[in-house]
Amino acid sequence: MLSLEDLFVVALVWGIVIILAWFLSRYLLTVFTGAKSRLDRFFLPIENFIYFLAGVDSTEKMGWKEYFKALFYLNIAQAVLAFFILMFQQNLPLNPMHYPGMSWSLAFNTVLSFSSNTNLQHYNGETTLSYLSQMSAIQFLQFTSAATGLAAGVAVLRGFAGKAKTIGNFYFDYVRSLTRVLLPLTFVATIVLIALGVPQSLGGYSSIPTLQRDAYEILYKGPIASLVSIMQLGTNGGGYFGANSAYPLQNPTQISDFFEIGLMMFIPTSILFLFGRMVGDNREGRTLFLAAYVIYGIDLLLAFLPATQIGRGMEVRFGSTASVFWTVTTTAFTTGSVNASLSAFNPVVILTGFFGMLIQAAPGGKGVGAMYLLMYIIVTIFLVGLMAGRTPEYLGIKIEGRDVKLAVAAFLTHPIIILVPTVVAFVIGAEKTIGLTTNSIGFTKVFYEYTTAAANNGSDFLGASANTVFFNVTTGVVMWLGRFLPMLFMLAIADSVAIRKRTPSQGLKTGNLSFVIILVVSIFILTVLTFFPFLVLGPILQFLQGFKTGFGGVVLGL
């Protein structure tokens, strides 16, 4: 049962994040509109030098095709570079533990995972990766994938705002995402994490004698604080350790736990407010914020119901409230980090995690979550227009048939790339190769694996046990399709509406509470209708089976 003290902690984290995100949105408006700033003196020479080295023009206006090509090709190049680092890390410096290179399928999965901002890990980092790999492959891709998502999201918002008559320039958005947003914020977050007890070292692992004679415990340490800061701020989720933030050195105390939760909420929340500032009407940003946080709040309430509290086997280092709060948040913001084993949770808590990943806009990852919300708004306005017999409009723009088709294509990408490989995995018996059965528990774990891959979330049940060629390749492909296809469709819509004539809105008012309710209901209906049969076969069936056996607190994996 959620106590008043627990409720106060959740409300405090929410309140601090929302207030700071509101102020950050003002700064982001300056960053991405190119408005003059006192920081230009420091950042402009650095950025201009980067443009010079790359041989790109940051002032050129790009159409959606040019924007997407630049985005996609750069991510391919970054993934290839990281692939070779992981494959040949045994021949590279900063490998005091002398770890061998990854297999081709694991390296393939890892680079597609981290370059797509998913951070699904089929390996345990502390026993697999050298310091160089952790920094130049893993942390490098965490920065670049976060910048890619932020740039794409801002481009879509810019197109819908319509003031610039363009979606912008990818290189401008990407470089500024790195230099003016991610690097400064992660630097501050890293200092705070070090102060809270998270290690930052390149000195190699240590052996510590235990109370047993001739017995030693290996103390895994390394550049952990810097990785944790970008993994949470960039909604990446991939940890230094296989146990992620359930491991004491990555998340030492209750204070660090709530600080890391706040980090993953920070930038995605600010993007919702940024939209209102870019449009010039804070009510529109408020609509995105309320819709996202209402869904997020419903998930939290469902997870905190007494009947859904965690059963036996729960990791109690942070307690049930902090662990449930983290799990719902990490799936709602598509971060994917964990502070407790997913197998210890009641199926209803896992169900709320599914909702966050299937919706992807509650509030979703930085940039991409707001992009998905705009996709849902287009579909909702179209459906309401059909029922009312009016031409759908949004922000004074007439929504055309092409817009709706592209939005539906973006929406349908998700179920296709989740459901098809899930079915294929069971048809060929891939679950048996990693020790799973075809009961509701096994189905939930495989279904969750492809859901977390498609949603670019990365939290999963399988971990290193999924290090097989089949799961490495299929989840890798799903992660990139789930990342770049929706971006492609939404950039095309944004580019089209950016130059479209705008008139005073005469259709459905989208800046009021009534539309927020309509939008939330529409999102839930679309998600439930699409995925309900699969959810019934997984967490819902397991929860019902738990009651049938007389134990309502059944947990996954027991």
Poorest-pLDDT segment among 173-182, 214-223, 231-240, 413-422: 214-223
Poorest-pLDDT segment among 234-238, 283-287, 341-345, 471-475: 341-345
Q: Decide if pLDDT at 219 tops 80.
A: no
Q: Decide if pLDDT at 533 tops 70.
A: yes
Segment 68-91 shows an average pLDDT of 97
Tokens read off for 11? 């409300």
Residue 557 placed within a domain: no
Q: Decide if pLDDT at 550 tops 60.
A: no
CA atoms within 13 A on the CB side of 199: 17
Helical spans, DSSP H, in 162-253 = 170-176, 183-195, 224-233
Which pTM does this prediction carry?
A: 0.93
How buried is 71 (Cβ within 10 angstroms: 0-12 exposed, 13-18 middle, 19+ buried)? buried
**If phi over 0 gives left and psi between -120 and 50 gives alpha, with beta otherwise, what is residue 379?**
alpha
Confidence band of 555 (pLDDT split at 50, 70, 90): very low
Q: Give the pLDDT confidence score for residue 41 in this predicted structure.
A: 95
Give the phi and the psi of residue 208 in degrees, each rounded to 5.
-115, 125
Residues in contact with 377: Cβ distance below 8 Å, sequence separation at least 6, in sequence order: 394, 510, 519
Task: Count structural domains, the chain.
Answer: 1
Tokens read off for 439? 């009961």
Distance between CA atoms of 176 and 31, rounded to whole angstroms?
A: 7
Q: Give the pLDDT confidence score for residue 148 in this predicted structure.
A: 98
Residues in contact with 489: Cβ distance below 8 Å, sequence separation at least 6, in sequence order: 375, 406, 407, 409, 410, 413
Give the phi and the psi of residue 455 in degrees, each rounded to 5.
-85, 0
Distance between CA atoms of 552 and 430, rounded to whole angstroms?
A: 30
Q: Give the pLDDT confidence score for residue 313 in this predicted structure.
A: 45
Angle between helices 347-359 and 282-304 (to 10 degrees): 160
Kindly list the distances between the CA atom of residue 488 and the CA atoms of 141, 237, 481, in Å, as whole numbers in the listed order. 20, 24, 10
Tokens read off for 270? 């600010």
Q: Give the pLDDT confidence score for residue 445 in this predicted structure.
A: 96
Give the rounded percent of residues in the chain with a pLDDT score beyond 90: 78
CB-based contact 545:554 (threshold 8 Å): yes
pLDDT digits (tens, 9 = 90+) for 278-312: 999 999 999 999 999 999 999 999 988 754 444 44
Confidence band of 390 (pLDDT split at 50, 70, 90): confident
CB-based contact 338:355 (threshold 8 Å): no
Residue 558 placed within a domain: no
Tokens 């709320």 sit on residue:
352
Residue 556 placed within a domain: no
pLDDT digits (tens, 9 = 90+) for 398-443: 999 999 999 999 999 999 999 999 999 999 999 999 999 889 999 9
Segment 300-325 shows an average pLDDT of 71
Structural domain span for residue 468: 4-548
Distance between CA atoms of 497 and 50, rounded to whole angstroms?
A: 31
Residue 154 placed within a domain: yes
Report strand pairing: 393-394 vs 216-219: unpaired
Residue 326 placed within a domain: yes
Q: Decide if pLDDT at 549 tops 80.
A: no
Neighbours of 504 (CB within 10 A): 5
HEC sequence for 258-313 = HHHHHHHHHHHHHHHHHHHHHHCCHHHHHHHHHHHHHHHHHHHHHHHCHHHCCCCC
Residue 439 placed within a domain: yes
Query: 95-107 burial by CB neighbour count: b if 16+ within 10 A, else e?
Result: beeeeebbeebbb
Task: Provide the mean pLDDT of the chain.
Answer: 91
Distance between CA atoms of 205 and 317, rounded to whole angstroms?
A: 24
Confidence band of 345 (pLDDT split at 50, 70, 90): confident
Tokens 């500032």 sit on residue:
277
Tokens read off for 399? 């929504």
CB-based contact 553:311 (threshold 8 Å): yes
